[in-house]
Amino acid sequence: MNAINTYFIDVIKKHYVDFAGRATREQYWMYVLFNFIGAFVLAFLGGMDNVIGTLFSVLYAVYALALLLPSLSIAVRRLHDTDKSGWWLLIGLVPFVGGIVLLVFMVLPSTPAANRFGDVK
């Protein structure tokens, strides 16, 4: 429970639309993991053919919209940690190659010293 609080809830509470600063590889990938688990559970339950399925489909849509900005902000802060501008996030819009390049950027190690986006955490 502490990991969910540290890597998921704190991102939402403290950095909801904070595009400044840096996010480590661990912070980014743990947020992605918990976000994926939550979205998967809601989507799975939303696939039922009854009233409860409809309710979970609506909850999934609200969940996805609510976490759109925090997901963008932590991705930008992760790019900042590798000393790249947040605008590099737009390369993901390029078919095929863009997603691969963005994945490589997200798994790169952090800049070991302070960079133009802030100090090391």
Along the chain (121 residues), what's the average pLDDT of each consecutive run of 10 residues? 79 85 92 94 88 90 94 94 94 94 94 86 70
- What is the predicted pLDDT for the residue at 60? 93
* Residue 118, strand partner residues: 115
Whether the CB-CB separation of 34 and 8 falls below 8 Å is answered with: yes
Is the pTM higher than 0.85? Answer: yes
CA of residue 38 relative to chain centroid, distance: 12
CA dist 67 and 104 (Å) reads 23
- What is the predicted pLDDT for the residue at 84? 93
